[in-house]
Copies of this chain bind each other. A is one copy, B any other.
Amino acid sequence: MKFITVAHGSGGEETRKLIEEVFLREFSDPVLTDLEDSALLDVPRRIAFTTDGFTVSPIFFRGGDIGKLAVSGTVNDLAVTGAKPIFMSVSFIIEEGFPLEDLKRIVRSMKETAEEVSLRIVAGDTKVVPKGQVDGVFITTSGIGEVLRNGLSSRNLQPGDLILVSGTVGDHGATVIAEREGINMDMDLESDCSPLWDLIEPLLKELKTLRAMRDPTRGGLAAVLNEWADASQVQIEVDEERIPVKDQVRGICEMLGFEPTHLANEGMVVVCVGQDEGEKALDLLRKHPKGKDAAIVGSVVSKGKGRVVLKTPYGAERILDPPSGELLPRIC
């Protein structure tokens, strides 16, 4: 057996074998291996609950794969809302003919990423569809987290607040696009795809004036800042010079006509914090290897119409629009 067949999805003997030999070999949580229709769990009274579908192409890319991406995405969605990731479900939709070795590699990658943050994979599902009816494999995950900090919200931004990023902008998007377009680039650019709980936990515990956090995936930094500006009805100003962007990402953007601020990250967090705690937030981020490129990139300047203004190095100002149009399908 080297390839997935339709029989693997029929709910009978072959499905059972696939579950035992591929999934349960890596996902060994006792709640999952029970194989009932639902996982029975003891949870805190207040939880965060999130879901995300992953369709990235190519499935394996520099710095990660669809499995690492799916677990990281779930961890980060929970963490930015103030919750410690505890449980996760995984649902696979697989194309007939998909190589079994690739599936095993994805499953192993999910297991390793989940273990990194002590996240338990407790529920799952697998569907197989005939060749040509899905491209390779799509994964949908849902996560449950324990809410450690209430009150973070896109609506919290106030004039004077500072905006930080925990790392360079657009690494994931630029990596995937470069691989897809066959662009040769220095081998040191790779996706930032990573679970950020360890980076975010100290912010939740030590910052009194933490307003909001968001991981800038689809739509990038520009989408996050525009959503915040809109939700809080404030004007945000960002210094273009202060936004950390890798040279390779800048190069790919220039070649293909993208803005770095529109490209996805999958292991970076945007933070809004009160003025007095900007430096503290920066220190907390930079202490962690995943936050070594952190920077304060802008601030909330006034109440009023929600918009984001980019100040260029030449002193000019322009509106930083949210991305629109057919930007980058299958980036995550």
A interface with B by C-beta (< 8 Å): 5-7, 9-16, 34-55, 57, 76-78, 80-81, 83, 87, 89-93, 96, 122-130, 132-135, 138, 140, 142-145, 147, 150, 152-154, 214-215, 217-220, 223, 227, 262, 264, 322-330, 332
Contacts and interface: CB of A to CB of B under 8 A. Distances in A.
A215 B5 CA distance: 24
Nearest to A34: B153
Contacts of A42: 45-46
Contacts of A89: 49-51, 142
A10 B147 contact: no
A9, A124, A129, A140 pick with most chain B CB within 10 angstroms: A140
Contact of A87 (B45, B49, B52, B330): B49
B39 A48 contact: yes
Nearest to A134: B134
Given A41-B49, A133-B134, A144-B144, 17 more contacts: A10-B218, A10-B324, A11-B264, A12-B327, A37-B80, A40-B83, A40-B147, A41-B46, A49-B87, A51-B140, A53-B91, A53-B92, A53-B125, A55-B93, A91-B142, A93-B93, A132-B135
A322 B13 contact: yes
B138 A325 contact: no
A8 to B, nearest CB: 9
B7 A127 contact: no
B10 A128 contact: no
Contacts of A327: 7, 10-12
Nearest to A213: B37
Contact of A142 (B9, B51, B133, B227): B51
Contacts of A140: 51, 53, 91, 93, 125, 140
Given A9-B329, A45-B43, A135-B129, A324 B14 contact: yes
Contacts of A217: 11
Contacts of A15: 218-219
A283 B138 CA distance: 44
Contact of A36 (B10, B47, B81): B81
A329 B51 contact: no
Given A13-B324, A330-B130, A38 B77 contact: yes
Contacts of A124: 51
Contacts of A138: 93, 134, 138
A-B residue pairs, 10 tightest by C-beta: A11-B218, A11-B219, A140-B140, A142-B142, A51-B89, A12-B323, A38-B48, A38-B50, A38-B81, A133-B135
Contacts of A11: 217-220, 223, 264, 323, 327
